[in-house]
Amino acid sequence: MPSFVLNDESKTNSHGFRVKNSGIDLTRFKANPVLLDYHMPSNATVIGKWENIRIEGSLLLADPVFDEEDENAKKIKGKVDRGYIKGASLGLDLANEQWELIDDVPTLTFCEVTEASIVPIPSNANALKLYAATGEVLEADEIKLSIESISNQIKQINNMKQIQLSVATLLVLGLQADQLKDNATLEAAIEKLAKDFQEKGASLTAMTAERDALSTKLAAIDTQKATELVDAAIKAGKITADKKESFLSLANSNFEMAKGVLDGIPAKQNLGANIQNAGTPGAFDAVKTMDDFEKLSFDQKLQFKNEAPEQYKSIFSI
């Protein structure tokens, strides 16, 4: 026995709408999968049941099992077996229906299946039965009017959303509400907005480049200040040359701290300056060790020996 297509959600039926398979509630139908003869709801027209109810792609499918103890069911089964009847359709309960307008087609996104029938022509005006909340069957004209009303309501809701969005753009575009209907005015406003955006973008780019250049210049000045500070400390004998990179790193990250540290280190006495003033009291006070003595020139060593003999002896007696 072939499977029957109960619904194809990709197709618009003769009533002018589609039914989403994902929105079909099959709970009641699976609990009582009644197979009717042409949607006629009576005990005499129950000709079997449905099995293997499933969704495959865009199709809702099921397999019919005919009551072969029923003469009418046997006749219809024979027509199905021989290929004369191939159609089936759903009976839908619209008590809690939900609709959407998808691709401008009214689409039933929630409904409940009450039964499914064997029919000669699926999806024609009488093949797909719709039931109202009262349980009464809706006639073809009632269905058509209902679908048209639903479609109009959905379009009105969508239009209202569009209007609300349009109103939100009025302040940006600098337009009045009635100007939204004038395409030329609207296009001009959008072009002006785009031009303003481009100009402001170019201005921002120029300002960013200027800021970056200034930052580079300030960084160079800071580096120069740090270098001068550390070089002066080395020249003054406050730190040795091997400490230069460490103090440069400190000065570049926190100039005031580096300056404070270096200002607190006493400068090394200038031995040469004292020796140039030899002959004056205390001229050789800076010469206290053999290392200090070795830094003197030959003439200065002789002068030191002659002018500060006691200090000279103390160095060589160590």
Amino acid letter for position 275: I
Question: Residue 137 carries which DSSP code?
Answer: B
Token pair listed for 8: 């194809």
- For residue 49, what is the enclosing H or E element? strand 46-56
- What percentage of the chain carries pLDDT values higher than 90? 26
pLDDT averaged over every residue in the chain: 79
- Residue 160: pLDDT over 90: no
What residue spans of the chain are helical by DSSP H?
27-31, 71-81, 140-173, 183-235, 244-253, 255-263, 271-276, 290-294, 298-307, 309-316
CA 304 – CA 283 distance, rounded (Å)? 9
Question: Which is more confident, 180 or 59?
Answer: 59
Give residue 164's pLDDT band: very low, low, confident or very high (50, 70, 90): very low
pLDDT of res. 31: 96
> DSSP letters along 91-118, please?
EEEEEEEEEEEETTEEEEEEEEEEEEEE
State pTM to two decimals.
Answer: 0.45
pLDDT, average across residues 216-244: 89
pLDDT of res. 29: 95
pLDDT tens digits for range 292-314: 888 888 888 888 888 888 888 88
pLDDT, average across residues 41-70: 94
CA neighbours closer than 13 Å in the CB half-sphere of residue 60: 23
pLDDT tens digits for range 165-182: 455 555 556 665 555 556
Phi, psi of 267 (to 5 degrees): -75, 150
- Residue 60: pLDDT over 70: yes
